[in-house]
Amino acid sequence: MTLAWRHLPRTLRETSSPRIRKKCPSLSGAFWTSITKLHTKPRMPPCDFTPERYQSLTYDRVLEIHKQHLSPVLTSYFSEPLLLHQGHMEWLFDYEGNRYLDFFSGIVTVGVGHCHPKVNAVAQKQLGRLWHTSSLFFHPSIHEYAEKLSALLPEPLKVIFFVNSGSEANDLAMLMARAHSGNTDIISFRGAYHGCSPYTLGLSNLVSFKTKLPTGIGCQSTMCPDVFRGPWGGSHCRDSPVQTIRKCSCAPDCCQAKDQYIEQFKDTLNTSVAKSIAGFFAEPIQGVNGFVQYPKGFLKEAFALVREQGGVCIADEVQTGFGRLGSHFWGFQTHGVLPDIVSMAKGIANGFPMAAVVTTPEIAKSLAKSLSYFSTFGGNPMACAIGSAVLEVIKEENLQENSQEVGTHMLLKLANLRDEFEIVGDVRGKGLMIGIEMVKDKMSRQPLPREEVNQIHEDCKRMGLLIGRGGIFSQTFRIAPPMCITKPEVDFAVEVFRSALIQHMERKAK
């Protein structure tokens, strides 16, 4: 699918983004021959943009400042962290001018492309008009955006609270659930990530986000219904073009794995929380845990059970929302459920700090009775103008449809790699949210050691492909490119990944 803005005459396109465009630089092939002489480096697709010349800090100085003044928590990828300088749509450029195909979008954030011309133009216009007022004063940007966003959500999800990050959104969603229900206990899946604030750390169930320090109280975890790594799973469970390699005898309209996981959920309700609970948080597809999908029908039954015990159901759409899954605009719609609260961030403003919580009038009133909630920067003029532009681009350029078409194309190609390589245990996902889980072998499903996954990751980077990581053991590659990605770029990415797998197998054979 060709994107609408790429049909524009060159003169008009340069009005929106006046930088000079010509063939992009690509990575040097010198490293390739030093690794192996048996393969040809996959040829990177062309693009028509040239980055500005880098004129800032030296690489060594950046490392020095980072060590002295920034967080000591190790978060950067690669043995030599990548120093990025500029972005253009699906492409990123480092300080040396090397070009990379971005298949992780700043952690599933840059939905419509880096520095999209229309979004840039809107941001620049608003920057010259009004930056900030706080909610003490009205400005049209917030009202225009609220009307556009609410139109994309079903009744009765029509009341919007604007904040600045996913963690802040889920903090507020927790508060709403407790204020409305009058209860405390909230359930979330093992492997879930709902934020890194002191409050939401209680909901995030990954070891790297667990601490000896006191965090969110009243939070209980339940088994993640992971049909690949969990105790139950089969060949018809997922809402995906690609199923697990696990076999089952289920009829197409019946899933024994789903029934087993529901029993585990009931066990949590019967043993680990009070008789009346505040709510249940669920990502439609787990993000940080490696894009894990649940059995079809699970969330629908779980939501009903939660409501029977007085709780509300919260859909965390921070990574799944805004058309990324292709078939639907929101992830919860793919499960056939209607949540009581929806949190969203990341792709909402293409990387500009913005988030929101959408709920029903009834729940909003319950919060208002309990607290005069206020956010200084939430819904500021800049964020809302950019958010509106993002919604317009998604619609005008058919990016949701592109996610469906190109994402399915990629899933099927990656499934072929799973069949070809013993260490590719699972390929899963929907639209442009795809996980590739690496294993020692398909029979044991034991995670491939981190050092080996690191090597594959590095090789992809050297060939010009940037992908993410996830999973409890960092064993899963997360693929979530900007939604403007094309099939030729997908073909290049798959060939790069295949080449990296071949190199890994050759290293193991030596």
Residue 482's nearest CA partner among 90, 162, 125 is 90
Q: Which residue has the tokens 């500009």?
A: 352
Tell me: the pLDDT tens digits for 238-287? 999 999 999 988 887 789 999 999 999 999 999 999 999 999 999 999 99
| CA nearest to 478, candidates 80, 109, 84 | 109
pLDDT score, position 210: 87
Indicate the burial class of 35 (C-beta count within 10 angstroms; 0-12, 13-18, 19 or more): middle
Tokens (6 digits) for 62: 């950046």
Average pLDDT in the chain? 92
* Closest C-alpha to 165, from 36, 351, 23: 351
One-character DSSP codes across 371-438:
-----SSTT-HHHHHHHHHHHHHHHHTTHHHHHHHHHHHHHHHHHHHHHH-TTEEEEEEETTEEEEEE
| pLDDT at residue 260, as a whole number | 97
The residue ranges of the chain whose pLDDT is under 70 are 1-39
**Cis-peptide, bond into residue 9, ω within 30° of zero:** no
Q: What is the number of other CB atoms lying within 10 angstroms of the CB of residue 56?
A: 9
Half-sphere CA count of 219, side-chain side, radius 13 A:
23
pLDDT tens-digit readout, 310-341: 999 999 999 999 999 999 999 999 999 999 99
Owner of token pair 């969330």: 299
DSSP element (H, E) containing 303: helix 298-308
The three-state (H, E, C) secondary structure of 449-465, written as one string: CHHHHHHHHHHHHHCCE
Query: What's the pTM value of the predicted model, to 2 decimals?
Result: 0.92
pLDDT at 39: 63
Tell me how crowded residue 360 is: count the other CB atoms within 10 A of its CB.
20
Q: Who's near 501: CB < 8 A, 6+ residues apart?
A: 417, 421, 423, 424, 456
216 touches 202 (CB < 8 A): yes
Give Cβ neighbours of residue 209 (< 8 Å, ≥ 6 apart).
Answer: 193, 196, 201
Residue 48's alpha-carbon distances to 21, 89, 111, 464, in angstroms, are 5, 11, 20, 17
CB 265 within 8 A of CB 189: no
d(CA 174, CA 279): 8
In the chain, the largest separation of any two C-alpha atoms, in whole Å, equals 69
Q: Is 187 helix (H, G, I), strand (E, B) or coil?
A: strand
Q: Which two tokens stand for residue 439?
A: 């294993």
Strand 468-470 and strand 476-479: pairing?
antiparallel
